[in-house]
A and B are shown apart, each in its own frame.
Chain A
């Protein structure tokens, strides 16, 4: 049972464009929603994260939008660059002692063409 569903599986964007990746979750007990970025041959690394008390968080060109009622959250990459080409994973976990016990989405392979 996939508790976090991510789409699309792959995404091709031109340099300077906006990349949008969507995730939906089922478990209303989830309390922390991070996005991880993975380059080939490397482990995933935390990119940006949000907690459900806010609807949006922005860090540079990366923005998370969070819709608690719809149980959805998305990653927006503004002014996408070839260096952003990577695999992106959304994730979620419950609070308390479950912090860090992440449930991941299926991943999105982003390719940014120069």
Chain B
């Protein structure tokens, strides 16, 4: 079974703090993604990576950055957290090629006070 593990299920941070969200996948997938889930808005793509050290902006990259130093690990970084970044963050991976299936982690719920 594919497993995508997000290290923190729940985080509470203060405005201005730097936040790291970590994600690890165990299936040697090429692609990794960070989505943000908000009620009524669905899932919105923040960043994705199709190879180590490669990244592309998604639809809502402002206020976020990412790091992929190893194939299995993809980190989302909030340089200076703001209250409007309070949300559920979902990491996903996919095999690439013509397989469009994403495998998601269970999510990290971030609250910024």
Contacts and interface: CB of A to CB of B under 8 A. Distances in A.
A9 interface: yes
Given A43-B90, A44-B90, A49 B101 contact: yes
A52 to B, nearest CB: 13
Interface in B1-48: 4, 31, 33, 35, 39-45, 48
Q: How large is the interface on B (under 10, 10 to 19, 20 to 34, 35 or more residues)?
A: 20 to 34
A69 interface: no
A20 interface: no
A100 B104 contact: no
A59 to B, nearest CB: 14
Given A46-B101, A106-B40, A99 B96 contact: yes
Interface residues of A, number: 27
A9 B50 CA distance: 32
Given A43-B90, A44-B90, A100-B33, A89 B42 contact: yes
Contacts of A89: 42-43
A40 B99 CA distance: 26
B107 A43 contact: yes
Contacts of B39: 107
Interface string A1-17: 00010100100000000
Nearest to B105: A43
B106 A42 contact: yes
Contact of A101 (B4, B45, B103, B104): B45
A17 B39 CA distance: 26
A102 interface: yes
A74 to B, nearest CB: 16
A102 B99 contact: no
A93 interface: yes
Which of B42, B96, B107 has the most chain A CB atoms inside 10 A of its CB?
Answer: B42
Contacts of A25: none
A6 B41 CA distance: 10
Interface of B: 4, 31, 33, 35, 39-45, 48, 50, 58-59, 90, 92, 94, 96-107
